[in-house]
Amino acid sequence: MDGKLILIVDDEPRVRFTLALILKHHGLQVLEADNGVEALRVMEEALEQAQRVDLVVTDIKMPGMDGLELIKILKQSEEPVKILVMTGYGDRETISRLQEIGVCGVIHKPFDGEQLISAIRPALAEC
C-alpha cells in the first residue's frame, strides 16, 4: 500500500483531516476534496502533475455534486478509478445500487482507523 495516492472526498473538514492522518500513518499519499466538483478538479490537477489517483474514498451525501454523481462520472471516464464509498445511510437499496455500478466497497460510518485500512486494502488490491 505504500505510496498509493488516495483522494478523500467528504464535506466535513474534520473527517477529511482525520482520515488523512490515518492514511498517511499507513504510508499512503493523500489528496482531499470537499465535494464531487472539487474532487474532479483535484484529480485533473494530479494528472497534470503526472500523478494518478489509485483510489477515491468518497462520502455520498454532500452539497453540490454528491458522491453518486461523482461515481457515475468517474466510472464513465477513460481511465476509471477504484472507488470506496463511506456512508452513514447504508440502506440495502443504496448499497445494491453502488455494487451494481462497480464500487470496490462500502464502509459504514462511524468507523475507526483499523476498519478504514481493512476496507482500503482489498479495494486497492482486488477491485
All structural domains of the chain with their residue ranges: 5-66+81-111
pLDDT tens digits for 33-77? 999 999 999 999 999 999 999 999 999 989 988 888 999 999 998
Count Cβ atoms below 10 Å from residue 45 Cβ, excluding itself: 11
Question: How are the residues of the chain apportioned to helix, strand and coil, as percentages rounded to the nearest 5?
Answer: 45, 20, 35
The residue ranges of DSSP E strands in the chain, in sequence order, are 5-9, 29-33, 55-59, 82-87, 105-108
CATH of domain 5-66+81-111: 3.40.50.2300
pLDDT tens digits for 67-126? 889 999 999 988 879 999 998 876 777 778 888 888 999 999 899 999 999 999 999 987
